[in-house]
């Protein structure tokens, strides 16, 4: 079985391919497809954005098409930046700009109120046009300064109390076992493999 991942993010594609094995993961790049997902990701929820991506890709390729949308929800910000996480510091901002802005907004927030969660919704569209979605999350706490050189996005400021490390300080293997994306894609893999045996 193979799925087509509607993303151009190489980091994300590698991470998902490791989680989904033995299901083969191909990216739109391999088909020479170019879609402006910035124009597509204008939904008000992760689910809406994920389905917009699979539907846009379905116009270009055939197969089981999968896309995700994810974000960081901080308790003290009422669940923000949420669906706007990738553009929180403006279009084209670097990861360091994103978490620097976040840390600035949380400067006066005490430790007990710095709880947060990463959320990921995965949409899947089958060749017959039917669709489903699954969700995963990972809870943590926002640090006061970035730590670690691994991961990407908000990982350096997302602290995992049970490990005593930020998401950027754990190995890729550890991240693939606990992250919001890992949890969502594991649920997808279980669903797809069960369908294959029906």
Per-residue pLDDT of the chain (198 residues; tens, 9 = 90+): 999 999 888 878 888 998 999 999 998 888 888 887 766 778 899 999 999 999 999 989 999 999 999 999 999 999 999 999 988 998 888 889 999 999 999 999 999 999 999 999 999 999 999 999 999 999 999 999 999 998 888 999 999 999 999 999 999 889 888 999 999 999 999 999 998 764
Q: What backbone torsions phi and psi does residue 124 show, to the nearest 5 degrees?
A: -130, 135
The pTM assigned to this predicted structure is 0.91
Residue found under tokens 């553009």: 87
Beta strands in the chain (DSSP E): 2-5, 24-27, 65-74, 80-82, 115-125, 131-142, 158-160, 165-166
Spell out the residues 6+ positions from residue 86 whose beta carbon is closer than 8 angstroms to its own.
Answer: 41, 71, 98, 153
User: Would you state the structure tokens that stand for residue 68, as one six-digit string?
Assistant: 């995700």
Taking residue 113's Cβ as centre, other Cβ atoms within 10 Å add up to 12
Gap between the Cα atoms of 188 and 87, Å rounded? 26
For residue 130, give every residue at least 6 positions away whose Cβ sits within 8 Å of its Cβ, in sequence order, or none: none
Catalytic sites, residue numbers: 69
CATH architecture of 2-197: Alpha-Beta Complex (3.90)
Q: Would you kindly state where each structural domain of the chain is located, as residue ranges?
A: 2-197
């Amino acid at each position: 079985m193979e799925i087509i991942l509607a993303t151009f993010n190489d980091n994300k594609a590698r991470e998902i391919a490791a989680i989904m094995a033995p299901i083969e993961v191909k990216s739109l790049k391999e088909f020479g497809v170019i879609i402006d997902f910035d124009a597509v990701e204008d939904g008000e929820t992760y689910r809406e954005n994920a389905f917009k991506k699979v539907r846009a890709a379905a116009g270009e390729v055939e197969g089981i098409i999968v896309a995700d949308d994810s974000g960081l929800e901080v308790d003290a910000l009422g669940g923000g930046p949420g669906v706007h996480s990738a553009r929180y510091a403006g279009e084209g901002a670097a990861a360091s700009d994103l978490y620097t802005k976040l840390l600035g907004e949380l400067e006066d927030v005490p430790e007990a109120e710095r709880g947060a969660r990463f959320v990921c919704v995965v949409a899947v569209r089958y060749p017959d046009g039917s669709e489903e979605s699954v969700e995963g999350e990972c809870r943590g706490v926002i640090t006061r300064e970035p730590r670690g050189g691994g991961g990407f996005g908000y990982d350096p400021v997302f602290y995992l109390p049970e490990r005593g490390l930020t998401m950027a300080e754990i190995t890729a293997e550890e991240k693939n076992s606990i992250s919001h994306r890992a949890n969502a894609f594991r649920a997808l893999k279980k669903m797809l493999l069960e369908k294959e045996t029906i």
